[in-house]
Chain A
Amino acid sequence: MNPEYVKQGEIIMRSKTLLGVTVILQIVLISCFAMIGDWISLTLHLPLPGNIIGLILLYLALKSRLLQIEHVERGGKLLLLVMPLFFVPALSGIMDYTDFMRQSGLQVLVILVISSLLTLTGSAYIVDRLARRKEEATVHE
């Protein structure tokens, strides 16, 4: 765990078991937000998925001090750290599409790469110029 947590003067965890339980409870709490988001998305027929609505709700709860950052921080950091793990099952599904990949895999890859290059260059280049101009303007003030 990151030593900066201890610096912040919160209660130092006495044992590893207690820390483990805390992390799990925090993950459950974050999952509740995701589930509430799912429910809202389904009931209101929103185009946004529940986990993004959950993100917005959790952010609002933190910002309005309804929830302290310490109540979710440890669990959240762990979830984000191991996030690549959650992509593995879907990504390994590519094994069922070997025939498709042999047929049009190259075409798709070419489109995917060209389109991504155009997107990244287009958006990042313009934003970079604007952001730097704003930064310079603030420095000169």
Chain B
Amino acid sequence: MSEALLWFMLTILLFAGAFWLYQKYPFIWMLPILTVTAAVIVILALSGTSHAVYMSGGQYLSKMLGPAITAFAIPLYHVRHHVRRFIPEILLGVGIGTLIALTSDLMLGLLLHLERTTNLALLPKSVTLPVALAISERSGGTLALTATFVLVTGLVGSIVGPRLMTGLKIRHFVSRGVGLASIAHVMGATKSMSLDQREGAVGLLTMVLTAILASVLAPWIIQMVY
């Protein structure tokens, strides 16, 4: 119990420090999510602690992800008037995005001879974590890998995505919100929110719709490809 509390408090302290550092030095590789994760892994490795032991305290932080996702209702409420008129475009974008994500994933996995359980674990990589785990579980993917893939995709997407879209001259807040959240789920929506509140709200809606659509489409696409 005391060890759980130690890891719990340590992570929060590390985050507070990293947050403060990032305000002073706002470089990509100084993002708190990167620095804190790296610090935790180094500390665990050096002290010879397993990740399972760390999770005795870490699980309480993971559980707060639920309320944090629910809290997205607040920014969504603020910008509802900006977003409402673009709902058809958002729906279309989510449909295209989810279809491309799921099919390209399975096809590339087959092409590169990825193991079936790994490929199925990779399939919901652009879906928000709790839903991705549910999809992976139902199709028989490796759950722990799904969590990693989802988070790495979110991380890569939210770092590379905004620059890529600027390079492709994608400037409208609706398309930027849809684009980023269609690959980087809640992490993309959070990133969008920090850039522009309307963009973030679109991202949020995209995240919710992608989660719904992917749960419905995934079993169907797996059956077609495998």
Chain A interface residues (CB < 8 Å from chain B): 27, 30-31, 33-34, 37-38, 47-52, 54-56, 58-59, 62-63, 69, 72-73, 75-77, 79-80, 82-97, 100, 104, 107-128, 130-132, 134-135
Please, which residues of chain B bring their CB within 8 A of the CB of A112?
Answer: 122, 125, 149, 152-153, 156
Please, which residues of chain B bring their CB within 8 A of the CB of A96?
Answer: 50-51, 144
Please, which residues of chain B bring their CB within 8 A of the CB of A121?
Answer: 164, 168, 179
Looking at chain B, what size class is its interface with the partner chain? 35 or more
Q: Assess whether A73 is in contact with B97, with CB atoms less than 8 Å apart.
A: no
> What 3 A-B pairs come out closest when comparing CB atoms?
A124-B179, A89-B58, A128-B175
B141 in contact (CB, < 8 A): no
Could you tell me the distance between the alpha carbons of A121 and B141 in the complex, rounded to whole angstroms? 27
Please, which residues of chain A bring their CB within 8 A of the CB of B15?
Answer: 82, 84-85, 88
Please, which residues of chain B bring their CB within 8 A of the CB of A88?
Answer: 11, 15, 33, 36-37, 40, 58, 61
The A interface, classified by DSSP as helix, strand, loop or mixed, is helix
Q: Assess whether A85 is in contact with B11, with CB atoms less than 8 Å apart.
A: yes
Other-chain contact of A114, B55, B89, B92, B108 (Cβ < 8 Å) = B108
Please, which residues of chain B bring their CB within 8 A of the CB of A110?
Answer: 108, 112
**Which residues of B179-226 are within 8 A (CB) of A?**
179-180, 182-184, 186-187, 190, 193, 208, 211-212, 215-216
Please, which residues of chain A bring their CB within 8 A of the CB of B33?
Answer: 84, 87-88, 91
B74 in contact (CB, < 8 A): yes
B2 in contact (CB, < 8 A): no
Q: Assess whether A116 is in contact with B151, with CB atoms less than 8 Å apart.
A: no
| A to B CB contacts below 8 Å, 22 in the list | A33-B67, A47-B212, A49-B130, A51-B70, A54-B67, A55-B70, A80-B74, A84-B32, A85-B12, A85-B61, A88-B58, A90-B148, A91-B151, A108-B149, A111-B108, A112-B156, A115-B108, A124-B176, A124-B178, A127-B92, A127-B174, A128-B174
